[in-house]
Amino acid sequence: MPRFRLLLVLCRRSSDLHLHSIPRHFASCPLPVASPLDFSNPREREGDSSEEKRSETLSSRVERLTRGESVVSAFQSWMREGFAIHRGDIFHTVNRLRKLKMNKRALEVMEWVIRERPYKLKELEYSYLLEFTTKIHGISHGRKKNIPRILTLMKADGVSPHTSTYNILLKIEADDHNIEGLSKVFIEMKQAKVEPNEITYGILAIAHAVARLYTVSETYIEAIERSKTGNNWSTLDILLILYGYLGKEEELERTWKFVEELPHARTKSFVLAIEAFGRIGHVSRAEEIWAEMKSNRELKFTKQFNSIISVYCRHGLVEKASEVFKRMEANGCKPNAITYRHLALGCLKVGLIKEALKTMNMGKSETLGFQVRRSTPWLETAHMVLEVFADLGDLENAKMLFEEFKETKYCRYTFVYNTLLRAYVKAKVYDPELLRKMILGGARPDAETYSLVRLLEQFKN
C-alpha cells in the first residue's frame, strides 16, 4: 500500500512535533455550565451612574499580573485610584480569563470576591467559584472537600443554588463518568425546585449517550427540543452530537440545515457535523460537509483535519486518511496525539497491526494533558482500538489501553469492562479477580459480563 508507506514517512518526519491545538469538543466541556454574562461595555456597571473616564479595565490589570503575583495587588491598585468594584467588573474579568484559559487566575479572583465581599453576592458568584475550583483542583478533590464547603457558604449567606450551580454539579459527575451521581444531583435539583434549562438537559443527554444508555438520552433530547429558545448555536451543536450518537439521520440532517441557516456557522459546528455523520456511517455526507468547510473557510486548525481523519479511520479508509494527513502538513497544521490515535485505529481496521503499533508510539511523543485524556474523542477512539485488540486476543496491548480508562474512570461503563473480558476470553487467559475488580471499579456486571465470565472459567487450568 504505497500511500500508507508515504503516511508512515510523513509521521516519522513529524515525530518531534508537540501538541498545540487540542479538539476537546463535547466530552470535556460541551456546554457553558455557568451561563456567563457578556458585558459589551465593562464601564456600564451596577449602581454606577457617573463613572470617571478610565484608560483601562480591571480585567486588563489582572491579565497583566506576572507569574506569582497576587490578584490582590490588582484590586488594591484599582481601589486606590478611587474606583469601586462592581459585579460587572468581576464578570467581565472572569469571562476574559476563561477565554484566555487562565483558570487559576479566575479562581483567585473568585476566592477574593467571596472572601472580601465588595458587593452583595448572588448565585452566579458561587457558580463561578464551583466551576474554577473543579477545573483547578480536580473532580475527586473538589467533591470531597471544596464543593461541600462552597455549598455550606451559600446556605450561610442565604443564597439558594441556581440552575447554573446545579449544571456545574451535574457536569462534575458527567466528567467523572458517574451516572448514579449524576442522577442523584438531578433529583436534588428537582427537590430544591430549581428549574432545569436546555444546558441541564444537554449535560444529562450527552452523559447517558456516552454511557450508551440511549433510551434515557433520547428522553433528555426531547426535553432539549421543548425547552430550547430559537436556533441557538450551542444547543444546535449539542443536538448534532446527540443525533449522531443515536443514529438518527433525519434529525441530524434537519439540525445541520438549521446550523447552515445561521448568520455565521462556526468551524466547531462543521467539525461536529462531520464527526456525527461519520458516527452513523454516512461517510459520503461527512465528505460533503468537509468539502463545504474547505470552500467556505480557511483550513488552519488541526481539529478540522482530525474530524474527517476520524471518519475515514473509523471505517478503515486508510488511503483517504493518508491524503488528508498530507494536506494537513502542507497547510502547516501539526498532527497531535489524537491524530495519531485515529490513524492507529485506521491501521488496525485493515489489519496493519505493526503499522498501528508504530503509529501509537508516535502519538506517545506528543504532549497530552489530562483534559485530552478524559475527552470523549480520545476515550472513544481508544475504546475502538481496545475492541480490535480484544478481537485479536492481544491481551498485553488491551491491558495497556485499559489503564488509560482506569485513570479517567471510563472503565465505570459496563461495556468498556466487557471489552477487556473479551480480550481475556480470546487470549484464553483466566483471572479469578476480574469480576471483583470490575465491581470495585464502579461498573455493574450485566448479562454479557456473566456470559464472558462463564467462558473464562473453562481456562482455569
| Number of domains forming the structure of the chain | 2
Give the residue-averaged pLDDT of 4-28.
37
In a domain, 155, yes or no: yes
pLDDT digits (tens, 9 = 90+) for 342-356: 999 999 999 999 999
58 with 74: CB under 8 angstroms? Answer: yes
In the predicted structure, residue 202 carries a pLDDT above the cut 80 = yes
Range of the domain at 412: 369-461
Query: 0.85 exceeded by the pTM?
Result: no
What is the model's pLDDT at position 286?
98
Instruction: Evaluate whether 325 touches 295 at the Cβ level (below 8 Å).
Output: no
* pLDDT 10s digits, 64-102: 999 999 999 999 999 999 999 999 999 999 999 999 989
Give the Cα separation of 176 and 170 in Å (integer).
10
From 151, 175, 199, the end of a domain falls on 175
> Which among 175, 202, 236 is the end of a domain?
175
Distance (Å, whole) CA 242 – CA 203: 11
Average pLDDT of span 366-386: 87
**Residue 208 falls inside a structural domain:** no
What whole-number distance in Å separates Cα of residue 67 and Cα of residue 79?
22
pLDDT of residue 41: 38
Quickly count helices (H) and strands (E) in the chain: 27, 0
Residue 222 located in a structural domain: no
Task: Report if residue 263 sits inside a domain.
Answer: no
Q: What is the mean pLDDT of residues 230-247?
A: 93
Q: How many CB atoms lie within 10 A of CB 398?
A: 24
Last residue of a domain, one of 159, 175, 191: 175
Distance CA(458)–CA(456), nearest Å, equals 5
C-alpha to C-alpha distance for 108 and 75, rounded to whole angstroms: 12
d(CA 42, CA 312): 46
